[in-house]
Structure 1
């Protein structure tokens, strides 16, 4: 299988490293020329090990990818959609591992619904510092079409590839519900961590942080229910009771990592999306409106310091 990965952040580095070790996988990492030079000079590290990724640039013409994995930050998605053009062939499938609930639609707008695999990674605790990524839990990739009563041979081939790489995975019947479940988690955990500097350990031990996250997540549940998406209040408790306890105490959600590194956050795909949907569906979203203002203030304060 020819796999092209675009986005060598925390998640991309971890899964890319696992996939490149599969015998019948040809993995290439798509980067711009500046990053290619930098990565080749400085190296990319996962858990202290230098990883010999093969890098290509968007203008290189290669054999089309069987699978393209998109794991960039949301604000880089429009460029990524342009950059993968030479990698897309007649039988190419494109999998987005971005957070949120809109990236698949944006990719499909350019390349067609039939090429898009809906996907999300749950439970991974990867943390990135410059060119180094640390991870103790690979989590699980849920993927498929929006609904999966029947599973295509292409999806089964991806599943077999992931299993050969040691990547826990599943093809759920209702992928839309899974996407919204992860969206709910990110709206609560990522944004609360950004404003409180909370690691996963804080969410495991401090009730105040947990309550902020739960209130933000409840607004997502209300939005989902207004659209007949199968999400319920009990799903919030399941996350805190069963999932977050298994993450590294020192692990940091991606939005906190962005704040600390001075990068733009993914607030447009979290609270901004919640606010927009709330207005459209006549659902009140006061917690996310407050989180949005605080996070944008943090971003603005960073800009003034530069």
Structure 2
């Protein structure tokens, strides 16, 4: 099987930087960053300091298809990311969208019908960022695969081979649609509750009322998943609670970090998406509707 050797990533933030450093160490200049002119200039001048080590990534400068493109921007920046990635997508290009939420893969596939889009998500401890300095404890895993496929596709197998060489832990679930909803349920409970309470993960772990709020938010999401026909919807909240208890007590969700920094949050990707789906199904989701109003108003 031919190895993947020409890889690009767009979105060198808290998630993208964790993946980019591993791929750069493994592939060298065969791994490149897709960025606009201003971002390229900053990267040339400042590089990226990841856990104290400076990375000067190669930058994509030729409009030619890549074998694999990873998208790791904020979900709200996906339209711009697709525009930036377009010159580098060709027939058979594999695309992994590591964005939060449950809708980005469909958007990528609609924009690039010639590409092979794998469902995917990043699950791990959050990074902390100050300017061009990022720290991360190395605890993460990437889940990817076909939407529903009991056999391993050649594209997923090639990505797995690449990740093994780069030291990136991964799993290939047989039902990525269900797995994506599992991550979505975790985000509904964890990201939103920590942002609403302005508290790190440890507050959910130690405070029964805080955890109860997270569970109630997640139960609303699981009810929607169940109505849509997502596999294993009945088990998602229990699994999510286990994940929350395994998190670094001092860690802060990306939504909490955005809230504290006064940046726009991804509330529309979480509660916003859930409320729209719930409206179509006529399922009440009052807590998520309240979270959407509160966090949208900040």
So what's the TM-score if we normalise by structure 1? 0.91
What is the CA–CA distance in structure 1 between the aligned matches of 2:39 and 2:58, rounded to whole Å?
12
What is the CA–CA distance in structure 2 between the aligned matches of 1:3 and 1:23, rounded to whole Å?
8
What is the CA–CA distance in structure 2 between the aligned matches of 1:169 and 1:84, rounded to whole Å?
24
The yes-or-no answer on 1:32 pairing with 2:36 is yes
Deviations 1:99-118 (A, max 9, x none): 10000111111102752110
Residue segments in structure 2 that go unaligned for 5+ positions in a row: none
Structure 1 residues 198 and 233, CA, compared in 2 at 3 Å: closer, same or farther? farther
Q: Is the 8 A contact 1:200 1:247 kept in 2?
A: yes
Q: Is the 8 A contact 1:200 1:253 kept in 2?
A: yes
What is the CA–CA distance in structure 1 between the aligned matches of 2:284 and 2:91, rounded to whole Å?
44
Question: What is the deviation of 1:23?
Answer: 4.3
What is the CA–CA distance in structure 2 between the aligned matches of 1:275 and 1:220, rounded to whole Å?
9
What SS class does the counterpart of residue 31 from structure 2 fall into? strand
Structure 1 residues 148 and 109, CA, compared in 2 at 3 Å: closer, same or farther? same
The yes-or-no answer on 1:294 pairing with 2:294 is yes
So what's the TM-score if we normalise by structure 2? 0.93
Select the residue among 2, 6, 23 that pairs with 2:6.
Answer: 2
Q: Is the 8 A contact 2:190 2:244 kept in 1?
A: no
What is the CA–CA distance in structure 2 between the aligned matches of 1:108 and 1:224, rounded to whole Å?
22
What is the CA–CA distance in structure 1 between the aligned matches of 2:9 and 2:287, rounded to whole Å?
35
- 5 Å-filtered alignment, 1:106-255, equals 106-112=107-113, 115-241=116-242, 243-255=243-255
Residue segments in structure 1 that go unaligned for 5+ positions in a row: 299-306
Q: Is the 8 A contact 2:199 2:252 kept in 1?
A: yes
Deviations 1:147-199 (A, max 9, x none): 12222222111001111111111111111000000011111111111121121
What SS class does the counterpart of residue 78 from structure 1 fall into? helix
What is the CA–CA distance in structure 2 between the aligned matches of 1:244 and 1:139, rounded to whole Å?
14
Question: What is the deviation of 1:218?
Answer: 0.6
Partner of 1:303: none
Q: Is the 8 A contact 2:15 2:72 kept in 1?
A: yes
Structure 1 residues 176 and 16, CA, compared in 2 at 3 Å: closer, same or farther? same
Aligned residues: 294
What is the CA–CA distance in structure 2 between the aligned matches of 1:154 and 1:234, rounded to whole Å?
29
Deviations 1:54-106 (A, max 9, x none): 223xxx42442110000101111001111101111222111100010000111
Question: What is the deviation of 1:25?
Answer: 7.4
What is the CA–CA distance in structure 2 between the aligned matches of 1:203 and 1:28, rounded to whole Å?
39
Question: What is the deviation of 1:232?
Answer: 3.4
Runs of 4+ in 1 over 6 A off after TM superposition: none
The yes-or-no answer on 1:84 pairing with 2:85 is yes
Q: RMSD value over aligned CA atoms?
A: 1.7
Deviations 1:232-277 (A, max 9, x none): 3443222323x23332222211111111222211111111111111
